[in-house]
A and B are shown apart, each in its own frame.
Chain A
Amino acid sequence: MTAVIDIANLVKTFGSTRALDGLDMRVEPGEVHGFLGPNGSGKSTTIRILLGLLRQDSGVARLFGGDPWADAPALHRRLAYVPGDVNLWPNLTGGQIIDLLGRARGGLDTQRRGELIDRFDLDPSKKGRSYSKGNRQKVALIAALASPVELLLLDEPTSGLDPLMERVFTDVIRAEHAQGRTVLLSSHILSEVEKLCDHVSIIRAGRVVETGTLTQLRHLTRTRIACELDAPAPQLATTPGVHDVVVEGDRVTCQVDAARVGAALGVLTTAGVRSLTATPPTLEELFLEHYDGQHEVVDSRVLP
């Protein structure tokens, strides 16, 4: 089966800035793919290339197997896009804009439109200029979600939404996922990605530095272990895969590679464990780890 999004070695420069520097990414049908990175790392540039708004300098981007630059209008019938900063026509109402965008995309499901307006609690008769940021975001979200398309391209879609609306958004995306829609969700909000996405690509300075399922990514990193020991365990520091050992009296904390947790626990058990907590890495740690800037590019899909 062809991937919905298939990007290889994508490069895009703006003057002397290298916005994308050999980016690779693949999104399979039915995936909810988190596209994680800080501001200015190239997320929006990637999405804009996928939309045919920008042309890459080199590399290949395929959307539904087609060329996003040459076949834009045809491909756009199969996707809906929500920008991170939605700007609406000041004199058009939210309802008019939803209908315009939906129809220009190739049609929209009026029943679904009504449901979404209710769920997101939007007043569709207000003019574009009088909406708050969150409400502008809702207009674009409803227009996208009410379109019967295969792919949703969401660029930081929850910015400006209140926590209640964020939850509605989470529920709606989960339902979309269950129905097999493909979603590319760009975000710097880790909890959101962790909640919604089955796959994650982490981007830094125009390159994807980590990609895979959440489970695979967790395997790649270290578990934090904190324990109280009956006796010192001097050999712990020399055990392969154990890092950053800190000993304070009988309290010991360390970081252990995912694959070596068993060995580390063996060492600790011989010293007599009184109490122990092991914390799996959160996405946040994964994320921050990559932004320390020391990590090599790893594709967990190719690891055994």
Chain B
Amino acid sequence: MSDILITKSSPPQSALLTVWGALLALGRGFGRQLWMATRTPAGRIGLPLVALHAIIAVFGPLLAPYLPTEFHLRDQLSSPSWQYWLGTDEYGRDIFSRLLSGARSIITVAALGASLGIALGTFVGMSSGYKGGRTDEVVMRIMDGLMSFPALLLALLVLTTLGSNPQNIVLTIGVVFTPRVARVMRSATLSVKTLEFVQNARLRGEPAAYIIFKEILPNTIPVLTVEASVRLSFAILLASSLGFLGLGVQPPSSDWGLMISESRRFMTTAPWIALAPAAAVATLVIGVNLLAEGIRQAQHLPLIEEDISS
């Protein structure tokens, strides 16, 4: 993948239009990268797995046989049966229903958190890399400082003080990921910045925002897509780990990590409580990682068709 998108001339337009146009191009770019990934075996397994989880996240609660918080006090810790497909927990809550509602919360939180981190990181990394010089040095030092915390520790500290709710978890994931994304996007910017069409746009006197969004950003799409998929998988791991440590979505709502944490007390009598959410987290992250692998591999495949004009 080394297609270079060249804009011939720039009609006068507002900054807002520039950003909107760049976002459209970004969406198209992402779509194409995903489609390309289906040409690799990893992508062909990963994409359906991720899609399945996404569908469950959207429609799951409609399919759930019970309410996720509904107690069935006569059926505590019952093993999987026709009535309760995946068994029940210590309060007699249906595990299958809790799993479905947990899918929505973890996928929403992880996706929003990863998107926030990618947006902030891309913005910081690209502007810092484009600007260069002193500013770049100061900004990247601050990013290094943020990175000198292990991610989980920073997340735990922030959530302990701010209190744990979905908005704060999204915010935390965003903050934790920003410096990491910024570093990647900065080096991508540095390598595109020196190319002729960027110099060309500069000499035409284009504003910095235009050059960053319309000239450089479209050419970092391959890097950005891989980074986005990797970040999504880390976000799911981080969010579910926070849940396991009791700082995720608060009870009685269901959270996969918390379900696993609470299952430890019934390990010998009711192992299904642990196995169902464990399988759910595992398949989701494996799916995202396979997809990331597929996207990465597809970028090194020879191109079959390529329309630069679009």
Question: A and B, one complex?
Answer: no
